[in-house]
Amino acid sequence: MKNKEHTRQVRDTVVKKFKAGFGYKKISQALNIPRSTVQAIILKWKEYQTTANLPRPGRPSKLSAHTRRRLISDAAKRPMITLDELQRSTAEVGDSVHRTTISCILHKSGLYGRFLKDIHKKCCLKFATSHLGDTPNMWKKVLWSDETKMELFGNNAKRYVWRKSNTAEHTIPTVKHGDGSIMVWACFSSAGTGKMVKIDGKMDGAKYRTILEENLMESAKDLRLGRRFVFQQDNDPKHKAKSTMEWFKNKHIQVLEWPSQSPDLNPIENLWKELKTAVHKCSPSNLTELELFCKEEWEKISVSRCAKLIETYSKRLTTKAKGRKVQVLLSQGTVSVLFMHSNPRDTYPLSAGHQIAFGIMVIKWYLHCGCAVGVTVQ
């Protein structure tokens, strides 16, 4: 049972009498409190120079000091990294925490998240809404691509082995000067995974075109996409360079218009997460093994998994398009009225289902009144 906590006034009186030369016993008798309490108050005052309540330690942190330092370091080195990516990286080393926990850690260190510009938000929304009506067959023709970083020991911070005492076998080698990672480029479609290539050195426009020249058409052929497939890439300057776009034109390859700052729209992100988990289980000990395991595990990704990602892509777009405005144009005779409805609370967007239900309700009512109705969704 917790002992009674004395008021700040009592504690101040204890210190005041102690400064006046009173001993612990006399202070205890004068204030009618235990001698041990007097001693505790004075010892605390001597150490902290205050009689106020100190902050309680609270619940222990969910993340170790090492993981917190790693999060801060990753965010500082890669300013464009997302909370989802940081959350995945912590989960891969056994620390599963919510995105808000990671956000608080970064905020305390003085790091704050990037802010999407209005133009980026509008472009993402425009892409999602403009493709809501696309059939699954359209997405089956798309060859998705991206680059990602694969770390050698990023997931292997701590490993245990069975061995005899005083032996140095099975020790984990260390990598100096931060060279424990590789960059890879890969592509996939609903028919399965395409080629994966390790990027040697710094990527530039010429190197990117070489990767495309040696792997793009071959991947499309292996996946039986036909000549009219659509290629997806992000808006990296190397990807959108004039010489690169001319290469696509000369090869008669249609490139999907892609909104900036929208990795969540690319289904290959799901495969990257699964690949990194699988490679971690292989425990590569050097960069050669890391590259080998990356390619092996990439090829092991099933066709059904790839097909499922593409089959559900429309749901991904619907989620992105949540919170849109429903506009109903009502006309009767020479009079036209634009009726618009949207959820006023931005923190809780109106779902697509509720928007459709609302639109149908309004349309039925006005058709009943003999109006001509037109509906647009923004």
Assess contact for 35 and 28: CB atoms under 8 A: yes
| Tokens 């007097």, located at residue | 38
- Report the C-alpha gap between 87 and 101 in whole angstroms: 9
- Report the C-alpha gap between 288 and 341 in whole angstroms: 57
At residue 123, the 3 state secondary structure works out as helix
- Report the C-alpha gap between 154 and 164 in whole angstroms: 27
| pLDDT of the residue at 318 | 83
Q: Block means of pLDDT (10 residues each) for the chain, length 378 residues?
A: 77 93 92 92 90 76 82 79 82 81 83 64 80 86 94 54 41 50 95 96 92 96 93 92 94 92 86 93 92 96 95 84 47 40 40 57 56 45
| pLDDT of the residue at 345 | 36
| pLDDT of the residue at 133 | 82
First-to-last alpha carbon distance for the chain, in angstroms, is 61
Write out the two tokens for 92: 């891969």
| pLDDT of the residue at 148 | 93
